[in-house]
Amino acid sequence: MAAAIYPENVAFHRCKKYDRAEIALVVDKILGTLQYSGSLHGTSVLLKPNLISTKAVPVACTHGTFIAGVAQWFMEQGAKISIGDSPAFGSAGRVCEKLGISEALKGLDVEFVEFVTPVARTLPCGIIVSLAQESFECDLLVGLPKLKAHDQMFVTLAMKNLFGVVKGTNKAMLHMKEGQSHEHFARIIMELSSLYPKQLHLIDGIEVMHKSGPLDGEVLPLQLVGGSISSVALDTALLDLLQLDHKKCPLWRVAAAAGVAGSDPASLQYPLSEPSEFYGSGFVAPESLKNIRFNPLHVMAGIFKRLFYRSGR
């Protein structure tokens, strides 16, 4: 496989509906502009959608047909496909069943992977995080984020989606231990990307969730699929596309302050559609952000809820 050679390229393409074949064609156009070429035969690809919770409204999660369209494209290239995530509550399998994702994937040779095996990793900032070993067992990690508003982090895009590799209740523990500021927590999320050398991000923006999130909000048709090998570049471009103030997004502020490639809007290249072609969408992000730090009682309640859902009750 020849990886993309333009890390600051961001490809946007209009996609009017959730149709597997149409999405696969859009993905083909996007990845063509990102210089993905050569054979993917035998390559193990892990698709990492946003499967936040069985309690979430459907639009809060990556759409099943979007996942299926991406999986179909990679299968046609000869790749071996697995799908995994670590929801806040319930298993990835239960989320997929409840939201019709399993049904959308019928007929495709894909494997569901539960993120259950903890492995410690040290981030560049020195903080040790407990991640899912399963997320490292691939040749290429493909993030499939859902574009939506977020009451703590302003928006959930490509960088925030990678937080799903943190195993289970360790997410809540990080909120409790490292939630002293939005910037501090955003740095932890941003640095997760450094642990995965081969990655790609394709965002589901066909129907998005705005006004509030991450579990519930209002549906807004945007008719967008976007892609980049850089989560930072994709997020920077999407903030422009949504006509949002970059400085209100903690993840972008941290990336820009660190001078991370892709955080400078002027450096981005758009081989397909320009962000301005999607202006006027009416996307609304939260006016003010909630605290990052979780109350210890909230964390304990979350742990018991997770155990309850895992028990199948």
**Residue-wise pLDDT tens digits, 165-220:** 998 777 877 767 877 889 999 999 999 999 998 999 999 999 999 999 999 999 99
Would you say 147 and 203 are in contact if contact means Cβ atoms under 8 Å apart? yes
Place of tokens 């459907």: 58
Going by pLDDT thresholds of 50, 70 and 90, the confidence category of residue 313 is: very low
DSSP E strands, 126-260: 128-132, 140-144, 146-150, 154-156, 199-210, 218-228
Full-model pTM = 0.92
**Is the pLDDT assigned to residue 307 strictly greater than 80?**
no
Q: What residue ranges define each of the domains in the chain, with the CATH number in brackets?
A: 11-310 (3.40.50)
Cα separation, 208 vs 214, in Å, equals 11
**Residue 87 and residue 62: Cα distance in Å, rounded?**
12
Q: Is the pLDDT of residue 48 over 50?
A: yes
Helix, strand, or coil (residue 159)? helix
Per the prediction, the chain carries an average pLDDT of 90
Rounded to whole angstroms, the Cα distance separating 157 from 145 reads 6
Confidence of residue 221 (pLDDT cuts 50, 70, 90): very high
- Is 63 a residue whose pLDDT tops 60? yes
- Has residue 34 got a pLDDT over 60? yes
Closest among 94, 96, 206, 73 to 146, alpha carbons compared: 206
User: Residue 73: CB partners within 8 Å, gap ≥ 6?
Assistant: 24, 27, 28, 31
Mean pLDDT, rounded, for 102-119: 94
Pairing of strands 146-150, 154-156: antiparallel
pLDDT range class, residue 91, cuts 50, 70, 90: confident
Distance (Å, whole) CA 214 – CA 144: 15
AA letter at 130: S
Residue 155: per-residue pLDDT: 98
Q: What is the mean pLDDT of residues 91-110?
A: 92
Q: Helices then strands (H, E): number in the chain?
A: 10, 11
Residue 235 is predicted with a pLDDT of 98
Reported confidence tier of residue 308, pLDDT bands at 50, 70, 90: low
Residue 68's pLDDT is 98
CA-CA distance, 248 to 235, in Å (whole number)? 13
Query: What would the mean pLDDT of 271-286 be, rounded to a whole number?
Result: 98
Beta strands in 39-106 (DSSP E): 44-49, 80-85
Percent of the chain clearing pLDDT 70 (strictly above): 90
